Amino acid sequence: MARCCNRVGEPHPFHLLQCSVTWYTYTVNDTVDAVQRAVSNYYALNAVSPDTFGYDLVPAYGNSSELVPSPPLLTVTSYADVGSLFQIDGTFAGATTTATYALNGTSYGPLDYSQGSDALRGFFNSLVTMELRLPNIHNFAFGTIYRNCMLWSVAVTYDFTNRGQLQ
């Protein structure tokens, strides 16, 4: 986490005031692990929670008679020409592309370690934003006379527009 500074290396004289900018350092593996853990927990929700949740079901891929929980979706916006992003003397157009991946307990789209660390690093270098959206799940809570139906929606957004890179 960074501290607010008046000049390089000099703490702000009003150090009791809150900083408006906070920077967090993370690794590629930290982010990949967090997304994979969220997907795994989504599919194991009824095994790890004291409550019972219902999933929206869809036909299994390749087997229309089997119903499985709707998959979490990872929507990725990345720079189209990431090669020019890191060239100091080049022109960077800033054009982006967007792709959406359906994730499950064995396939994590572009966040899969089987692609190798260089591919993961290249993917993160190109990122602008990334959103993990878990499909709606539902359950209910008992009231004294009735029950409350609940619909849970979860979206985790990662914003890479202001970032630095350590090599």
Q: Where are the beta strands (DSSP E) in the chain?
A: 5-7, 10-11, 54-55, 57-60, 63-69, 73-79, 96-102, 127-142, 147-159
Q: Structural domain boundaries of the chain?
A: 27-159
The pTM score is: 0.77
Consecutive sets of 10 residues in the chain, 167 residues long: mean pLDDT of each?
Answer: 43 52 74 94 90 89 87 95 76 89 93 91 91 92 75 90 67
| Residue-level pLDDT at 101 | 97
Res 166: pLDDT? 57
Q: Which residue has the tokens 């009735």?
A: 146
The pLDDT, as a whole number, for residue 7 is 44
